């Protein structure tokens, strides 16, 4: 009997492939790379393992993947927001010039529904489009419900995103790393146009290592020869490692100044940092394809004004209750979120029960 090919069934099958979480680092099984302290760079099986083979089974070899014009974003804090700002700036530029005509955006995790992770022109895939593409991938890889091995859930979603963006023939594909960079599932991209690294802190230490230097080394793994390499102000040691990784590829790492000239109601200074990085990444992408047609002041103002990314420094009022929403999930994010919460004007508190939801 043919598999029921609905959105609901697709999500059921995806959830069966969630990777089990361990509280202890597994045995090191990956090739060791040279880090400043000589430690192995990864614990466990690299998430990128198998990606090329799965995509080849779907007819997407490396040469076909090279057709995608990619902006690749890694970091610890603000990856999703930065990607959303890039999408917004490119949307405003496209409304004026027609380029890029079609945009793909891949971010993780989702806020409410899985199809939010894969967007075309800022809109999540419809349930029908998601289900259609999912079962093309599912059947193309010969998967079945009883086999819950690889690809795991996030690997399958990344494969699905490449499949969709190639089918849709997008003019730009904006990719957020899941975590890390060097061995992240999204790092099968050989020739990105722009690479950008957001603020870096300690996160995913069980896989990436317990020092900033180790984690930064991983993030710098998205740098590729010929691509623009951008980052925001970081710890001095972090900048040193990023410069080293960039110079190995003949790249000049560009440190983006945080622009105080950006208009817009930024709920937190962190979002100004993310917007500044996104502006530079968007402009660099456009200039690679049209040297005389970068972002204008109007494009930047419209992109900032129209930016929407729910669940990040968001205030929602329901009846007499004010909810302060942010998807903080590590110590760095939680600290920033707590500072934002404390800065909320006291006027917001009077007459309301203000409930932090981190």
Assigned token pair, 185: 């599932």
Whether residues 231 and 298 fall in one domain: yes
123-124 β-sheet, strand order: 123-124, 118-120, 103-106, 172-176, 70-74, 194-197, 228-231, 254-255
CA–CA separation, 206 and 187 (whole Å): 20
Contact 309, 94 (CB under 8 A): no
Whether residues 337 and 288 fall in one domain: no
Domain residues for the domain of 164 are 47-309
Give the count of alpha carbons within 13 A of 4, CB side only. Answer: 8
Reply yes or no: is the peptide bond before residue 100 cis, omega within 30 of 0: yes
Residue 2 falls within a domain, yes or no?
no
Smallest CA-to-CA distance from 190 within 33, 317, 63 is with 63
Smallest CA-to-CA distance from 295 within 121, 88, 105 is with 88
Based on the structure, what is the number of domains in the chain? Answer: 2
Strand partners, 354: 322
Instruction: Write the burial class of residue 217 (CB in 10 Å: 0-12 exposed, 13-18 middle, 19+ buried).
Output: buried
Assigned token pair, 162: 């490449």
Residue 240 falls within a domain, yes or no?
yes
CA–CA separation, 200 and 2 (whole Å): 46
Whether residues 337 and 290 fall in one domain: no
321 — pLDDT class (breaks 50, 70, 90): confident
Predicted TM-score (pTM) of the model is: 0.86
Residue 131 has pLDDT above 70, yes or no: yes
φ/ψ of residue 295, rounded to 5: -65, 135
Instruction: Write the burial class of residue 225 (CB in 10 Å: 0-12 exposed, 13-18 middle, 19+ buried).
Output: exposed
Contact 8, 113 (CB under 8 A): no
Whether residues 262 and 341 fall in one domain: no
pLDDT digits (tens, 9 = 90+) for 3-54: 689 999 999 999 999 876 544 444 334 344 444 454 445 666 788 999 999 9
Whether residues 321 and 303 fall in one domain: no
Whether residues 113 and 241 fall in one domain: yes
Smallest CA-to-CA distance from 281 within 79, 119, 65 is with 79
Q: Which of 90-94, 102-106, 184-188, 312-316 has the lowest mean pLDDT?
A: 312-316
Residue 357 has pLDDT above 80, yes or no: no
Residue 13 falls within a domain, yes or no?
no
Residue 190 has pLDDT above 60, yes or no: yes
Whether residues 338 and 224 fall in one domain: no
Give the residue carrying structure tokens 């040279």. Answer: 34
Whether residues 345 and 273 fall in one domain: no
Residue 7 falls within a domain, yes or no?
no
> Going by C-beta distance under 8 Å and a sequence separation of 6 or more, which residues neighbour residue 322?
315, 316, 348, 349, 352, 353, 354, 355
Length of the chain equals 358
CATH code of 67's domain: 3.40.1190.10
Assigned token pair, 175: 């990719």
CA–CA separation, 88 and 300 (whole Å): 9
Whether residues 319 and 302 fall in one domain: no
353-357 β-sheet, strand order: 314-318, 321-325, 353-357
Residue 12 falls within a domain, yes or no?
no
Whether residues 222 and 73 fall in one domain: yes
pLDDT digits (tens, 9 = 90+) for 236-246: 899 999 999 99
pLDDT digits (tens, 9 = 90+) for 116-127: 999 999 999 999
């Amino acid at each position: 009997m043919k598999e029921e090919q609905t959105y609901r069934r697709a999500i059921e099958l995806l959830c069966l492939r969630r990777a089990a979480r361990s509280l202890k680092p597994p045995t090191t099984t990956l090739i060791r790379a040279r880090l400043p302290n000589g430690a192995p760079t990864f614990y466990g099986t690299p998430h990128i393992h198998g990606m090329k083979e799965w995509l080849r089974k779907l007819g997407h070899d490396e040469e076909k993947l090279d057709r995608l014009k990619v902006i690749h974003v890694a970091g610890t804090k603000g990856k999703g927001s930065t990607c959303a700002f890039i999408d917004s700036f490119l949307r405003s530029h496209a409304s004026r010039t027609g380029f890029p005509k079609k945009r793909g955006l891949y971010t993780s995790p989702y806020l409410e529904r899985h199809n939010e992770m894969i967007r075309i022109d800022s809109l999540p895939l419809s349930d029908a489009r998601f289900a259609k593409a999912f079962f093309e991938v599912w059947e193309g890889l010969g998967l079945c419900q009883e086999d819950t091995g690889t690809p795991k859930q996030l690997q399958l979603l990344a494969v699905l995103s490449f499949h969709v963006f190639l089918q849709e023939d997008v003019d730009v594909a904006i990719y957020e790393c899941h975590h890390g960079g060097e061995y992240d599932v999204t790092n099968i991209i050989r020739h990105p146009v722009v690479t950008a690294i957001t603020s870096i802190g300690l996160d995913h230490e069980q896989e990436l290592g317990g020092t900033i230097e180790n984690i930064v080394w991983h993030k710098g793994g998205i740098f590729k020869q010929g691509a623009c390499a951008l980052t925001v102000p970081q710890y001095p040691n972090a900048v040193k490692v990023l410069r080293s990784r960039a110079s190995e590829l003949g790249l000049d790492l560009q440190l983006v100044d945080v622009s105080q000239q950006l208009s817009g109601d930024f709920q937190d200074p962190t979002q100004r940092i993310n917007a500044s990085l996104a502006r530079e990444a968007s402009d660099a992408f456009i200039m690679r394809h049209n040297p005389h047609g970068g972002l204008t002041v109007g494009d930047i103002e419209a992109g900032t004004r129209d930016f929407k990314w729910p669940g990040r420094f968001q205030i929602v009022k329901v009846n007499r209750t004010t909810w302060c929403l942010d998807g903080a999930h590590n110590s760095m994010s939680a600290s920033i979120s707590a500072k934002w919460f404390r800065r909320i004007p006291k006027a917001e508190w009077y007459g309301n029960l203000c409930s932090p939801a981190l």
